[in-house]
Amino acid sequence: MSFRSMMTIVTSPEDANPAISGAAQLAQLTDAHLDALALGVDRTQAGYSYLGGGGVFLQVALERAETDAREAEAAARAALENQPVSLRWSLESAVAQVGALNELVALRARFADLVVLPRPYGKGKGVEAEAVLEASLFEGQAPVLVLPEKPLPAALPQRVVIGWNQSREAMVAVRRALPFLKAAKLVDIAVIDPPQHGPERSDPGGMLCQLLVRHGIKAEVSVLARTMPRISDVLNRHVRDMDGDLLVMGAYGHSRFREAILGGATRNMLEQAEVPVFMAH
């Protein structure tokens, strides 16, 4: 498997350059085509009644979303045209209500080998940034690479850390990340407080390590104690200690009745991570 089709989604002009630059760099390193979607989001909630001029209110919100889409598209186009001429890319724009983002984003994400997105949390980030990430992961069933705020290195990740807990989601993430793992010089399988009962109790991470070695990957296992309140804190510290430049982990969701379905550990990791985070569900 290799990455041949990458996608990034721009929801604001401010995010255009970091999102496009990171995705374009990865696309060139892996000889992939980059599809970019500029998105204008109508944040009005369908089903609510606005007394006294509701139609006017909705029309104004739609026009604002269309303007946002045009501005995001212009910023994305400028960023794409600033990339090397060897980059193969396409760009389109769309408008959607925030409640309808899932279907729109998932449809595009299903046909991408990898979705590359800026970090969805932080100053100036709207609710649509997290919604785009969730739709790509859960409805689109695409692996997602979340970029940190700092620029990416000039080469593919050389030291990769896998957050391993024997879960289905973690295994899916490892399989989807194989192109990155095969290109790395070292892959560290981090196991935090392994269970005393289970199939890997006598050799935590050993079966995964064996699988990766058979793929020609140089892999090792680190068994870590949970010395900090949150697993994300332990994992982030380990990534720093390993001088890692990519973290691979499963993405965990809670009840769909919640507006935000990313699990607490996943969100904590994305808020704190200093390196790109590769996730799948």
Q: Does pLDDT of 259 surpass 50?
A: no
The domain limits of the chain are 5-147, 159-280
pLDDT of residue 160: 98
Q: What does the mean pLDDT of the chain come to?
A: 89
- Percent above pLDDT 90 for the chain: 67
Cα separation, 95 vs 114, whole angstroms: 22
Residue 260 has pLDDT above 60, yes or no: no
CATH level 3 topology of 159-280: Rossmann fold (3.40.50)
| pTM score over 0.85 | yes
Average confidence (pLDDT) over 65-92: 96
pLDDT number for residue 109: 97
Given this model, what pLDDT does residue 267 score? 82
* φ, ψ (nearest 5 deg) of residue 154: -80, -5
Q: How confident is the model at residue 196 (pLDDT cuts 50, 70, 90)?
A: confident
Using 50, 70 and 90 to split pLDDT, how confident is the model at 70?
Answer: very high
Per-residue model confidence as pLDDT tens digits over 152-190: 988 999 999 999 999 999 999 999 999 999 999 999 999
- pLDDT score, position 195: 77
The dihedral sign for the CA sequence 260, 262, 266, 270: negative
Q: Hey, CA dihedral for 126, 128, 129, 131, is it positive or negative?
A: positive
Shared fold status for 5-147 and 159-280: yes
The residue among 268 and 265 whose pLDDT is bigger is 268
Quote the pLDDT of residue 136: 95
Give 63's contacts (C-beta < 8 A, 6+ positions apart): none
The answer to which of 87-101, 121-135, 152-166 has the lowest mean pLDDT is: 121-135
pLDDT at residue number 149: 86
Q: How far apart are CA 173 and CA 277, in angstroms?
A: 11
Instruction: Give the H or E element holding residue 18.
Output: helix 13-29
Predicted confidence (pLDDT) at residue 201 exceeds the cutoff of 60: yes
**Of 175, 171, 101, whose CA–CA distance to 139 is shortest?**
101
Mean pLDDT of 191-205: 81
Confidence of residue 80 (pLDDT cuts 50, 70, 90): very high
Confidence of residue 48 (pLDDT cuts 50, 70, 90): very low
Structure tokens at 170: 């973690």
pLDDT given for residue 258 in this prediction: 40
Options 3.30.565.10, 3.40.50.261, 3.40.50.620, 3.40.50.10490; CATH for 5-147 is 3.40.50.620
